[in-house]
Structure 1
């Protein structure tokens, strides 16, 4: 996963107020706006108790709950610094619990988790209920969405909509297929999910560019979704749940291949110490993480992204005076963004990493193999 969406946040100097809030309004709560206002006040009090400045608290309060036009269950991630809004993002799902934190580094891991698995896709629905013949009357209504899952739950992707007489559907489907092929190449789509009338969608699928046909997944049943929610949301949720993006799977395969090599010729490492050492030198291509929100691991950090260490003494030995102890995931994330390295969240059922961390290096520092004894 590329973390470019966090770059605007780190352009702001800390300290940061970080807030995660459930802003769903179509819940069983009688007055959801009143409930959101109550939780907002609690989070405001938490920030104040942690020493946040009044302007940053005010900026966070003004942003919280402002997503009144987003339907369905969802949440918000709000980050402010020095009285200014540093980053505001809608969350595809409500946070596990509302949280607020004020500290030198922003609490970004819950937001990163909600960007995962980050699967680019095309979803299409062909609406037709008439006679299955190209000389029939009536209209085929076609809609499609190109996006990245699960963000399109709350941030609509590129949407296409056409209404075509059945008599023109054969020719129109060919033109639509070419257009979908262009969009799929643009986002490097991993799947094309198609729903709707079996006859009409079959004509469309057969006219898709040949390389795209192998990525088609047809689903049955209604494909309707509420306005401003992802097209075919229910089906996408079931299809992509627990799945890693192809790009991340490729990085993980490379990591595993490197791990199998001799130690002196290996461009990978595991454990927190190895990850910190590689990040200090800007050598990390991708960091692999078993996400443990309950983890108590801490790192010491300086003002710059690559200034992180296991101990305070190590940082001070480099001549860094302004040092702080932070959550390990917050320190690692800032270093990844600062060095433009990638992050791969690895479910433990796929691979359990030593100390929950592994790194794929940009290059190998070759060391001579040990001489054989005797």
Structure 2
């Protein structure tokens, strides 16, 4: 997951209010319930020591969600009386919650949000394609491509002239697939979509898939649907969830392979808070792996003003010249570190056989 959208949170000092609002339940009394939720969460923050202006900003922001159609929820990050960032969630948070702490509590976003919770759905046939943007707030048309219209259909005979005709049919298919792939790549780049879904017959999907640029190959999913049919919201969510699980499994496999020493005894992966914190301090993390239920994710570490000022022991920071070290959760401190160094992060499964990092915290390194 690309965490660049979190940069605004680390341009200001803490403490921060981090609030996760569940909007997945919709009833006749939703507006009243969300107003009560706003009061409760603002009161919870006040009890944790948050200032009155920030509590008021959070309460107002939640009350404004009273009639929100968002199917899952929203995260709110506020300080000094202002909501600095409020990304929509791509999955329900399982209840609303609020935290007041030195750093914004961003680690849950690895499971609950996408940096751009939008995907492009391409409905493909031999004549061209229609593009549709699908996000948390609905869908909208995103353009279409019309390729060559003739000839498009093959025949079943061995006559030489007919075989020549069939070759022309193949050429038209290949030409149209290339045009669709080019237009789809432009659409994805302009919208910043995190996923491209190809819908259509297997041959047409595969032809377009093979012609998409390499940068998109790990952002593509395929779905077979009948002619003229459209993906339902549940279809899109299922495909997105399957895609994300597959990506997480691939990253975990890379981690397991990198954890094994090479011929010189060096590894390209580390696990456990002390080792990952050291790698963060040295800007060596290429991708952070977090299992949200891991016991070490909640472990307290010491941080300084700069993102790479993170240590297990307070004295390690004072030795480096930090005069006012503060404590923070390990997962939040490490997320801040990877955001500021341009690294990525991924949530990994927890099953014992999956080989998840020790304590729920690991990292692939930029160099051994």
Q: With the length of structure 2 as denominator, give the TM-score of the two structures.
A: 0.75
Are 1:356 and 2:360 counterparts?
yes
- Conserved 8 A contact 1:121-1:184: no
Equivalent residue number for residue 21 of structure 1: 21
Are 1:303 and 2:285 counterparts?
no
Which deviates further from its counterpart, 303-312 or 234-243? 234-243
1:71 Cα deviation after fit: 2.7
1:96-122: per-residue Cα shift (whole Å, max 9, x none)? 121111121011122232136989854
Equivalent residue number for residue 39 of structure 2: 41
Cα distance change on mapping 1:183 and 1:110 into 2, 3 Å: farther
Equivalent residue number for residue 290 of structure 2: 289
Q: Per the alignment, in what secondary structure is the counterpart of residue 265 of structure 1?
A: coil
Cα distance change on mapping 1:242 and 1:161 into 2, 3 Å: closer
Q: Per the alignment, in what secondary structure is the counterpart of residue 347 of structure 1?
A: coil
Q: Per the alignment, in what secondary structure is the counterpart of residue 264 of structure 1?
A: coil
Equivalent residue number for residue 88 of structure 2: 90
Cα distance change on mapping 1:184 and 1:272 into 2, 3 Å: farther
Gaps of 5+ in 1: 128-133, 135-139, 196-200, 225-230, 365-374
Gaps of 5+ in 2: 154-171
For 1:338 and 1:317, how far apart are their aligned partners in 2?
22
Q: Per the alignment, in what secondary structure is the counterpart of residue 12 of structure 1?
A: coil
Please give the residue correspondences for 1:101-116 in structure 2 after superposition, counting only pairs within 5 Å.
101-115=99-113
Name whichever structure is richer in helix by fraction. 2
For 2:47 and 2:332, how far apart are their aligned partners in 1?
21
Cα distance change on mapping 1:264 and 1:123 into 2, 3 Å: same
Cα distance change on mapping 1:93 and 1:276 into 2, 3 Å: same
Equivalent residue number for residue 273 of structure 1: 274
1:356 Cα deviation after fit: 1.5
1:185-234: per-residue Cα shift (whole Å, max 9, x none)? 35488753426xxxxx689658847536996420359955xxxxxx5321
Cα distance change on mapping 1:155 and 1:335 into 2, 3 Å: farther
Equivalent residue number for residue 232 of structure 2: 232
For 1:68 and 1:223, how far apart are their aligned partners in 2?
34
Q: With the length of structure 1 as denominator, give the TM-score of the two structures.
A: 0.74
For 1:342 and 1:168, how far apart are their aligned partners in 2?
46
Q: Per the alignment, in what secondary structure is the counterpart of residue 293 of structure 2?
A: coil
- Conserved 8 A contact 2:290-2:346: yes
Cα distance change on mapping 1:261 and 1:203 into 2, 3 Å: closer
1:219 to 220, 225, 234: 225
Cα distance change on mapping 1:70 and 1:222 into 2, 3 Å: farther
1:31 to 21, 29, 41: 29
- Conserved 8 A contact 2:89-2:112: yes
Which deviates further from its counterpart, 92-101 or 67-76? 67-76
Cα distance change on mapping 1:348 and 1:202 into 2, 3 Å: closer
Equivalent residue number for residue 330 of structure 2: 328
Please give the residue correspondences for 1:1-374 in structure 2 after superposition, counting only pairs within 5 Å.
1-24=1-24, 27=26, 29-67=27-65, 70-71=68-69, 73-115=71-113, 122-125=120-123, 143-146=130-133, 152-154=135-137, 159-160=141-142, 180-186=180-186, 187=188, 192-194=197-199, 205=205, 208=208, 211=211, 216-219=222-225, 232-244=232-244, 251-262=251-262, 264-292=265-293, 296-349=298-351, 350-364=354-368
Which deviates further from its counterpart, 347-356 or 323-332? 347-356
Cα distance change on mapping 1:326 and 1:320 into 2, 3 Å: same
- Conserved 8 A contact 2:122-2:132: yes
1:147-172: per-residue Cα shift (whole Å, max 9, x none)? 6xxxx23476x7325699xx999799
Cα distance change on mapping 1:285 and 1:41 into 2, 3 Å: same
Q: RMSD over aligned Cα, in angstroms?
A: 4.0
For 1:21 and 1:297, how far apart are their aligned partners in 2?
24
